[in-house]
């Protein structure tokens, strides 16, 4: 790790991991002098230029440094102030064994003049928000460190679950996985889907995932208890209905392609385009299990009804409470088709 480190972003776990790495390399007994946004650059400089009486090194962490502002729109500052020019000269000569870390919560304006000058001197760690596209390597790595691997079914289960999440905090994900690891039978090497069922219990995302799993099976007894929590408030209604519609459209597309006698490879290629370029390999695993519960005409009718309900809610001629009866109408399982 270089003696100048820039850590920024929105993913707390990744940022904290980088901060701890900086402290382990430059901090005296894992500590450093800490500075806040309104600290003077001269004081920070004194800290990373100082020589410790014990270890011969000094470390400083400057939180929310004003020279590295968060990007908030508008034009980036294109000129350096005299103070910034002076500070950059100091950063270019950080004594060996000493370190300075800039830690900013949020996405730094990388177009600013100061950032462009300091970045070549620094090790930059961007704590980028984790999404459903990027989460699985973190999960497999975490479990791999514990000698565990996911089965195909469990990988499919998690990929489908994480697609309901608008925000995926790694610290929370790892804490839930740790709970699972503690409860695994001795000698377990493979994590099957059954071990994952109780993870993330109570979260809106987990409830939405479970609701859709039951609803697509037209299992009213298990579907209805989730309706009020997922659709009783307008903001949750809009988000959760959007996810519901996306799954229904994919299921409709799958059944139409099946009816056209498309090969599996063709189905996967076409549905990836429908899914805005995101892989549907693991989504298909679930759709294949529920496709026989629905007729194409039923799916078309339900999708239309949901759009009409959304429109009428915006017009003030319907309420989110109308979602319950609509779901009940389609929960009746009339047998596989």
What per-residue confidence (pLDDT) applies to 336?
Answer: 52
The tokens describing 237, both together, are: 């209604």
pTM here is 0.73
d(CA 49, CA 315) in angstroms, rounded, equals: 64
Q: Is the pLDDT assigned to residue 337 strictly greater than 60?
A: no
What per-residue confidence (pLDDT) applies to 334?
Answer: 54
d(CA 255, CA 197) in angstroms, rounded, equals: 28
Residue bearing the bigger pLDDT, 277 or 239: 239
pLDDT tens per residue across span 157-201 = 898 889 888 789 999 999 999 999 999 999 999 999 999 988 998
Q: What mean pLDDT do residues 99-127 have?
A: 96
pLDDT tens per residue across span 4-40 = 999 999 999 999 999 999 999 998 777 899 999 999 9
The dotted CATH code for 130-201 is: 1.10.8.60
pLDDT tens per residue across span 228-241 = 999 988 888 988 99
Quick check: 230 and 213 in contact, CB under 8 A? no
d(CA 143, CA 177) in angstroms, rounded, equals: 8
d(CA 265, CA 79) in angstroms, rounded, equals: 54
Collect all residues with Cβ–Cβ distance below 8 Å to 87 and sequence separation of at least 6: 41, 45, 67
CATH class held by domain 4-127? alpha beta
What per-residue confidence (pLDDT) applies to 171?
Answer: 93
Q: What mean pLDDT do residues 85-106 have?
A: 95
Quick check: 230 and 240 in contact, CB under 8 A? yes
Q: Sketch the domain layout of the chain as residue ranges.
A: 4-127, 130-201, 217-337
Percentage of the chain lying above the pLDDT 90 cut: 68
Distances (CA, A) of 193 to 88, 133, 152, 196: 53, 20, 9, 5
């Amino acid at each position: 790790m270089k003696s100048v480190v820039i850590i920024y972003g929105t993913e707390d776990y990744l940022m904290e991991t980088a901060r701890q790495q900086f402290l382990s390399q430059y901090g005296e007994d894992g500590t450093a002098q800490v500075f806040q946004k309104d600290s003077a650059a001269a004081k920070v400089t004194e800290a990373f230029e100082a020589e410790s009486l014990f270890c011969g090194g000094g470390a400083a962490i400057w939180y929310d440094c004003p020279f590295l502002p968060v990007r908030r729109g508008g034009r980036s500052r294109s000129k350096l102030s005299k103070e910034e020019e002076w500070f950059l000269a100091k950063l270019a000569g950080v004594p060996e064994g000493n370190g300075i870390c800039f830690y900013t919560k949020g996405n730094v304006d990388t177009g600013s003049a100061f950032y462009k000058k300091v970045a070549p001197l620094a090790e930059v760690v961007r704590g980028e928000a984790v999404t459903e596209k990027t989460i699985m390597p973190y999960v497999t790595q975490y479990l791999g460190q514990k000698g565990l691997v996911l089965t195909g079914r469990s990988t499919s289960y998690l990929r489908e679950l994480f697609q309901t999440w608008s925000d995926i905090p790694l610290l929370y994900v790892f804490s839930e996985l740790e709970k699972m690891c503690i409860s695994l039978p001795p000698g377990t090497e493979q994590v099957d889907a059954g071990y994952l069922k109780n993870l993330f219990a109570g979260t809106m995302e987990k409830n939405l995932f479970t609701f859709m799993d039951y609803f697509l099976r037209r299992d009213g007894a298990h579907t209805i208890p989730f309706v009020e929590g997922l659709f009783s408030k307008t903001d949750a209604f809009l988000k959760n209905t959007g996810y519901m519609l996306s799954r229904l459209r994919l299921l409709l597309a799958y059944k139409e392609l099946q009816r056209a006698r498309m090969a599996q490879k063709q189905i996967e290629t076409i549905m990836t385009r429908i899914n805005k370029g995101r892989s549907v390999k693991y989504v298909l695993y679930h759709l294949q299990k529920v496709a026989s519960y629905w007729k194409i005409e039923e799916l078309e009718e339900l999708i239309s009804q949901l759009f009409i309900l959304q429109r009428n809610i915006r017009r003030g001629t319907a309420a989110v409470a109308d979602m319950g009866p609509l779901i009940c109408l389609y929960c009746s399982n009339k047998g596989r088709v």
